[in-house]
Amino acid sequence: MANSEINSNHKSRVCDQEKEQITRPSLFKVLMHNDDYTTMEFVIMVLRDIFHKSEVEAEQIMLTIHFQGIGYCGTFPYAIAEAKADQARLMARKAGFPLRCTLEEA
């Protein structure tokens, strides 16, 4: 018997199995806080370089931070949010600014 004959005699059937549920990681907002030392230009640079905001978007967020004391930079899974906040803080420390970024569960 050839393999094609053996395979043609078997009928395939679909088994109903429970599908695994994939849980999505928790999301966190990255928030940037106002201070009296970090320059507006530096905040815009951080928003563009780390959070990939356009010039206009970065300016709007910076103004929100300046006038309201806190601004929303983006929502990410925890590891990414933490990494972006750490990058922003490190960039600020190297430039001599006390920029503060925090995470808040979304």
What are 76-93's pLDDT values in tens digits?
999 999 999 999 999 999
| pLDDT interval class at 102 (50, 70, 90) | very high
Question: For the chain, what's the residue count?
Answer: 106
Residue 9 pLDDT > 80:
no
Return the DSSP state at 23. P
Domains of the chain, residue spans:
31-105
DSSP calls for 7-21: HHTPPP-----PPPP
Predicted structure pTM score: 0.77
CATH topology of domain 31-105: Ribosomal Protein L30; Chain: A, (3.30.1390)
46-76 per-position pLDDT tens digit: 999 999 999 999 999 999 999 999 999 999 9
